Amino acid sequence: MDKNVKVSILWQIYGKLLTDKQYEIINDYYNNDLSLSEIAENNNITRQAVRDVIKKGENKLFELEEKLLIMDKMSKQEKQIQEILSEISKIQENYSDKKIEKILNNVRKELSCLV
């Protein structure tokens, strides 16, 4: 997974555990696609200060994920749901019972909401 995507996901999961400044600057950098210079100007700080805040925030996000593994668990759960949906499709292709089809469609809808 690309580092930018990973940081953005970690920010969504753990962002509220960062300082307010880290939260806002990481959001601007990774999610709003602002440059270091733009962020520095908006916050009246140097580019180096922005970089430092980003690095410290990233480190905190990665430390939290290392300890709590929420993103990892979510990723595994999503893969399992996709596998279940694939198996449901196989069952629907091979059986024509209307009751089974209705039940499987309901299960598919419920699982799709989780992904």
Query: How much is the pTM?
Result: 0.79
The alpha carbon torsion through 93, 99, 100, 103 (nearest 10 deg) reads 120
Q: Which CATH class is domain 3-68?
A: mainly alpha
Per-residue pLDDT of the chain (115 residues; tens, 9 = 90+): 899 999 999 999 999 999 999 999 999 999 999 999 999 999 999 999 999 999 999 999 999 999 999 999 999 999 999 999 888 888 888 877 888 888 888 888 888 887 7
Task: Give me the residue spans of the domains in the chain.
Answer: 3-68, 74-114
The token pair at 34 is 């602002």
